Amino acid sequence: MQNQHMLIGGEAVAANGGTTFAVTAPATGEVLAEVPRAGATDVDLAVRAAARGFEAWFRLRPAEREAALLRAAELVAQEGHARFLDTLIDESGSTISKARGEIAYTVDLLRTAAGEARRLYGETFPNDDPRRMSLVIREPLGVVGVVSPYNAPLSLLTKMCAFPLAAGNSLVIKPSEETPLTALAFGRLLLDAGVPPEAVSVVTGFGGECGAELVNHPGVRCIALTGSTNTGIAVGQAGLNRMRRMQLELGGKSALLVLRDADPQQAAKIAAQGIFTHSGQICMANSRIVVERTIYQPFIDALKVEAEALFLGDLRDERTVYGPLINGRAVEKVLEHVHEAIASGAQLLTGGEIMQGLVVKPTVLLDPPRDSRAWREESFGPVASVVAADDLEQAIEIANDSDYGLSAAVLTNNLQWGMHAARRIASGAVHIGMHAFQSNALAPIGGVGLSGMGRSGGHYSTEEFTEVKWISVDVGSLPR
Ligand code: NAD
């Protein structure tokens, strides 16, 4: 077991008062490290450091910010496995393939964000008074408080940090209390890449303590939160008190539509990937599957085969599809959703129980009531609910009967049906011919309804993490 310090203004420090908390491995229960349990004083130091760091970072030329982010990308490309692989597997219960995927995506995100450093484009617009000229410029916001989740602790954190940094902001990062070790390693990497020490701090602690202190701190100009909808509502209310810019990437209950022309076997394979990857601990997991009635039976037969064939072994075994849920509370919640749905009339096609430790078997429910928690709420576990629809219109209506709208997907070979559904489904993204869990560093990722506010990725992030300013000038005395 190693004890770790947090990173404030480039210094490795303990929490004020010296309190710590344990980080455990969900697969084994082993204590991996004790880390500082930060509170108000620590957060205040970090925000003050970030305010000074902002001056240093923002004043660099765009090409210098780009170069630092490219160096960070190269460090991850060359040393990513040594720096992150074991930590990701141990701390977050990721399989080796999911951990490798996160590292690869991190490189891509850092390279993409680096390019954005040079693209803080502005505008001019015509003025009826010929002596006057108007410019619109983009400026960074200042200190961004980054509050991140546990499920993809490296790549999501990277997305939340790299784009605001590219735009010239400084950061105070509050990672999930489940996965602070990955975040500390990422913070150190940014400093190794040449980001000024005061521009990035990582404070470790609990949401209700350290997280709440950060989102309420008067020196923070913007909050970027990726987390559950309940947290988003609490953070959003705190943010409104100070009229902060907020980017809230929250929960999902994504629908996958399987239309009548789809191949049932192929559709079941895609559906299983879309729900069971990382035990369903993916915001975009297609936990609701709506199947046209004519292929319902062959589809559920094939999905049962797929679910029962998944290999769930050691996290470092290449064949393992998924591992444990993050903690015992997560397992309890998932099983509660399943048992309640069965008690209210759903049929259990497969699974519905613990395999071992915190690993829940791949679970498929048929026809849970539309008001059940398994259908309406995010279980954040390996549980798919399947219902039949008479036709495309009814499938769309069922998909839209949700408070969430993060991602959706349609399996069909008929592009017209797919496009019709894509335009009618209320969701931040709709994917045709694939499952709902898709990433792209340039894409505007974000949701509608309870799935959040704002978009991240590519230039959409630049817009989120900058403010526009109108500058007008009287050029009347200049020659025209
Ligand atoms: P969570 O809401 O429990 O925690 C997220 C972060 O918020 C953690 O760092 C936590 O400590 C902090 N936090 C909690 N309460 C807080 C408070 N009152 N003030 C300030 N900070 C607080 O979420 P989680 O369980 O870590 O992550 C899973 C959730 O994240 C799921 O709902 C998932 O759908 C969502 N998620 C969304 C996206 C997306 O892109 N929309 C991506 C990944 C995960």
176 lines ligand 1 (CB under 6 A): yes
For residue 112, what are the contacts with CB-CB under 8 A and spacing of at least 6? 162, 441, 442, 458
Q: What separation in Å is there between the alpha carbon of 310 and the centre of ligand 1? A: 28
pTM listed for this prediction: 0.97
**Distance between CA 455 and CA 432 in Å, rounded?**
20
Tell me phi and psi for residue 139, to 5 degrees: -125, 145
Nearest atom within ligand 1 for CA of residue 406: 41
Which of 98, 105, 160, 176 for mutating ligand 1's site (highest number of atoms within 8 Å of CB)?
176
pLDDT at position 58 is 94
184 lines ligand 1 (CB under 6 A): no
Q: In DSSP terms, which residues pair with 173 in a beta bridge?
A: 146, 202
> Are the beta carbons of 446 and 424 closer than 8 angstroms?
no
**Distance between CA 209 and CA 201 in Å, rounded?**
17
SS3 content of the chain, % helix, strand, coil (to 5): 40, 20, 35
Q: What separation in Å is there between the alpha carbon of 372 and the centre of ligand 1? A: 23
Q: Tokens 């495309």 appear where?
A: 392
Among the listed residues 168, 122, 174, 115, the one whose alpha carbon sits nearest the alpha carbon of residue 148: 174
- Residue with the smallest CA separation from ligand 1 atom 42 is 283
> Are the beta carbons of 189 and 87 closer than 8 angstroms?
no
234 lines ligand 1 (CB under 6 A): yes
Q: What separation in Å is there between the alpha carbon of 225 and the centre of ligand 1? A: 7
Tell me phi and psi for residue 392, to 5 degrees: -60, -40
**Distance between CA 207 and CA 107 in Å, rounded?**
28
Name the DSSP letter for residue 385: E
**Distance between CA 163 and CA 360 in Å, rounded?**
35
pLDDT at position 64 is 98
The catalytically annotated residue of 178, 198, 249, 292 is: 249
pLDDT at position 1 is 58
Active site residue 283: yes
> Are the beta carbons of 226 and 148 closer than 8 angstroms?
yes
Nearest atom within ligand 1 for CA of residue 230: 2
For residue 462, what are the contacts with CB-CB under 8 A and spacing of at least 6? 116, 119, 120, 138, 163, 166, 167
437 lines ligand 1 (CB under 6 A): no
pLDDT at position 477 is 64
pLDDT at position 87 is 98
For residue 20, what are the contacts with CB-CB under 8 A and spacing of at least 6? 3, 14, 34, 35, 36, 37
- Residue with the smallest CA separation from ligand 1 atom 23 is 227
Using one digit for the tens of pLDDT, what is the confidence trace for 43-94? 999 999 999 999 999 999 999 999 999 999 999 999 999 999 999 999 999 9
- Residue with the smallest CA separation from ligand 1 atom 32 is 228
Which tokens in the block code for residue 76?
A: 């991850």
**Distance between CA 408 and CA 434 in Å, rounded?**
10
* Ramachandran assignment for 367, one of left (phi > 0), alpha (psi -120 to 50 degrees), beta (any other): left
Q: Tell me the pairing of strands 466-474 and 132-140.
A: antiparallel
Q: Which stretches does DSSP call E strand in 41-131?
A: 123-125
Q: Letter for the amino acid at 38?
A: A
Q: In DSSP terms, which residues pair with 202 in a beta bridge?
A: 7, 173
pLDDT at position 390 is 98
Active site residue 210: no
Nearest atom within ligand 1 for CA of residue 178: 26
The catalytically annotated residue of 161, 210, 222, 283 is: 283
Among the listed residues 288, 292, 290, the one whose alpha carbon sits nearest the alpha carbon of residue 404: 288
**Distance between CA 349 and CA 271 in Å, rounded?**
15
Tell me phi and psi for residue 49, to 5 degrees: -65, -45
145 lines ligand 1 (CB under 6 A): no
Length of the chain: 480
Q: What separation in Å is there between the alpha carbon of 473 and the centre of ligand 1? A: 45
Q: Which stretches does DSSP call E strand in 106-218?
A: 123-125, 132-140, 143-147, 170-174, 200-202
> Are the beta carbons of 25 and 220 closer than 8 angstroms?
no
Q: What separation in Å is there between the alpha carbon of 149 and the centre of ligand 1? A: 5
Q: Residue ranges of the chain with pLDDT lower than 70?
A: 1, 477-480
149 lines ligand 1 (CB under 6 A): yes
**Distance between CA 95 and CA 281 in Å, rounded?**
12
pLDDT at position 2 is 73
